[in-house]
């Protein structure tokens, strides 16, 4: 059980990292729509953190997880290690810096979300518990929706492709 508690702590820290990243990106954003997207993603990270804290407290108090009581967490994470999704890479490129532009922040965020999709997909594939697989599948879908939002904002700012809030063309005159 101690191992599972340590693993949940790592996952909670991951969500905190994501929240900090998106709050910093929202502060730096000069585009109102980009700012709103980063703020919404920060709120999503808070929701994820709260769910994981509830899991942690349940396991600590009852010895059972709320969502997936039979999940072999040790097969998903390594003790004392958390996935480096929002953490800075060795060169420090994954953090918002004072000089980071909106486009750079969006590229970093998209890369982070893609890492999250990969991480939760692998966790889902390693799990033998149907409830855990469902939970991880929902997390993958949520992270993929984050990617779509970020890509839409990126396209809007670069005047390419689909823009959030703007129709590129209509079929009425086609």
Q: Where are the domains of the chain?
A: 2-158
Topology given in CATH for the domain delimited by 2-158 = Ferritin (1.20.1260)
Verdict on whether the full-model pTM lies above 0.85: no
> What DSSP line would sit under the chain, residue for residue?
-HHHHHHHHHHHHHHHHHHHHHHHHHHH--SHHHHHHHHHHHHHHHHHHHHHHHHHHHHHHHS--SS-TT--HHHHS-TT----SSSPPTTSTTS--TT--HHHHHHHHHHHHHHHHHHHHHHHHH---HHHHHHHHHHHHHHHHHHHHHHHHHHHHHT-S-BTTB-S--STT-
Mean pLDDT of 124-147: 74
28 Cα distance to chain centroid: 19
Across 1-10, 70-79, 137-146, least confident range: 70-79
Comparing C-alpha atoms, which of 169, 167, 166, 164 is closest to residue 149? Answer: 164
pLDDT for residue 141 is more than 70: yes
Across 85-94, 141-150, 154-163, least confident range: 85-94
pLDDT band at 169 (very low <50, low <70, confident <90, very high): very low
What is the average pLDDT score of the chain?
A: 73
Question: What percentage of the chain reaches a pLDDT higher than 90?
Answer: 7
Residue 5: the pLDDT is 67
């Amino acid at each position: 059980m101690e191992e599972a508690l340590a693993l949940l702590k790592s996952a909670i820290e991951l969500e905190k990292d994501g929240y900090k990243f998106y709050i910093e990106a929202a502060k730096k954003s000069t585009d109102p729509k980009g700012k709103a997207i980063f703020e919404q993603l920060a709120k999503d990270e808070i929701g994820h953190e709260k769910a994981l804290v509830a899991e942690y407290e349940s396991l600590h108090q009852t010895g059972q997880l709320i969502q997936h009581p039979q999940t072999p967490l040790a097969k998903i994470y390594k003790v004392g290690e958390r996935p480096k999704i929002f953490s800075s890479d060795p060169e420090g490129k994954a953090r918002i810096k004072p000089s980071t532009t909106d486009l750079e922040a969006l590229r970093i965020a998209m890369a982070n979300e893609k890492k999250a999709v990969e991480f939760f997909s692998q966790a889902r594939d390693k799990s033998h518990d149907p409830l855990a697989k469902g939970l991880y599948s929902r997390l993958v879908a949520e992270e993929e929706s984050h990617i779509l939002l970020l890509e839409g904002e990126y396209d809007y700012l670069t005047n390419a492709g689909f823009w959030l809030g703007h129709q590129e063309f209509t079929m009425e005159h086609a």
